[in-house]
């Protein structure tokens, strides 16, 4: 991509937006889903660890690293629900992809927009083997920054055409409906979560408050639905009543992380779950029958960010949609880093 390995391509927010629109949002989500599924299918090759998290009363700051022994990737991400009161994003992020053989970074990129895209794509990847056959209607409870991405991913990968929207803030629902207008959905704004789930084949919960919450109660979940639980993603934050979990077949990304951060933090540590990679490789069964309740307890895992970084690296080649960052010192003699520093003080053209 860039001949000088000491120059790192950086994809800014502006460049990311232009890249997504150049490709098309639904096409971007569909193509990204291929990378995500591909990496889940080779799950055993990855280094895996729960994210390194620093929690505070206001939110969390996390590092999410992984490697497949060829490339190494990490994401810096925060989650601060109160930020919206000050006009700031709840979640912001950036990421780096590096070459394992040299340790040199090969990409640095914004990941606030990219995280929203990869989260939605992952939800849809999981739903393909878990959602009821012929699903066409999805309820989205929580109509904030992630909601439109979820809707478009499920449209692109599963053919969802009907949306039932609810948020405790009617302005958020109006915003979501406005943004999705003309994109091929029949949209019904709802006055309660109970109303939103009526007739829905898939229920997506994607709320932001950092607390033990009950967005869905047991009586709201009928047989045969698929629950895409996205909002519970840190200790002390849940969206589903515990009884729903006990009635569901639960699918997760990485159990050691999900048991800390996901809906299943409400359950004993030995409660059975199925890992998504096992379903995608055929080692485990996803949906078995029409009455089964399936639950994807999504907290986000580093391999998904790794997939997103790989995808962006491959897409920016030849587009010019990046900046060249002079991030790595490059002395003429690798052992003479101090000499490089001294030469920087010399007038242009002067001899050392």
- State the catalytic residues: 233
Round to whole Å and give the CA distance between 320 and 311: 16
Nearest CA to 204 out of 173, 180, 239, 179 is that of: 239
Round to whole Å and give the CA distance between 146 and 150: 6
Buried b / exposed e along 73-102 (16+ C-beta atoms within 10 A): bbbebbbbbebeeeeeebbbbbbbbbeeee
Inter-CA distances, 338 with 6, 7, 331, 335, 341, Å: 17, 20, 9, 8, 5
The dihedral through the CA atoms of 302, 269, 271, 194 has a sign that is negative
75, 53 Cβ separation under 8 angstroms: no
29, 153 Cβ separation under 8 angstroms: yes
Nearest CA to 155 out of 186, 177, 116, 190 is that of: 186
Round to whole Å and give the CA distance between 223 and 352: 78
3-state SS string over 123-142? HHHHHHHHCCCCCCEEEEEC
């Amino acid at each position: 991509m860039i001949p000088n390995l000491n120059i790192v391509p950086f994809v800014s927010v502006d460049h990311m937006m232009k890249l997504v629109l150049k490709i098309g949002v639904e096409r971007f989500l569909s193509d990204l889903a291929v990378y995500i599924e591909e990496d889940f299918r080779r799950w055993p090759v990855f280094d895996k660890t729960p994210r390194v998290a620093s929690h505070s009363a206001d939110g969390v700051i996390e590092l999410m690293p992984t490697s497949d022994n060829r490339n190494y990737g990490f994401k810096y991400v925060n989650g601060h629900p109160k930020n919206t009161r000050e006009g700031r994003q709840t979640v912001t992020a950036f990421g780096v992809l590096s070459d394992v053989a040299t340790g040199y970074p090969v990409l640095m990129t914004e990941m606030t927009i990219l995280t929203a895209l990869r989260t939605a794509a992952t939800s849809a990847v999981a739903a393909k083997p878990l959602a009821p056959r012929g699903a066409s209607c999805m309820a989205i409870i929580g109509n904030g920054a992630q909601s439109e991405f979820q809707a478009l991913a499920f449209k692109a990968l599963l053919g969802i055409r009907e949306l039932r929207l609810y948020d405790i803030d009617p302005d958020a629902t109006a915003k979501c409906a406005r943004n999705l207008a003309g994109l091929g959905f029949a949209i019904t704004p709802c006055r309660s979560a109970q109303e939103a789930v009526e007739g829905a084949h898939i229920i997506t919960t994607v709320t932001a408050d950092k607390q033990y919450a009950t967005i869905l109660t047991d009586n709201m979940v009928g047989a045969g639905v698929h629950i895409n639980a996205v909002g519970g993603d840190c200790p002390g934050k849940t969206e589903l009543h515990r009884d729903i979990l006990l009635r569901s077949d639960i699918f997760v990304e990485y159990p050691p992380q999900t048991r800390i951060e996901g809906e299943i933090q409400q359950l004993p540590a030995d409660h059975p779950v199925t890992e998504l990679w096992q379903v995608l490789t055929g080692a485990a069964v996803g949906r078995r029958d029409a009455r089964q309740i399936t639950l994807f307890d999504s907290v986000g895992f580093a391999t998904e960010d790794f997939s997103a970084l790989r995808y962006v690296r491959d897409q920016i080649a030849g587009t010019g949609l990046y900046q060249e960052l002079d991030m790595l010192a490059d002395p003429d003699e690798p052992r003479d880093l101090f000499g490089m520093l001294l030469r920087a003080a010399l007038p242009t053209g002067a001899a050392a």
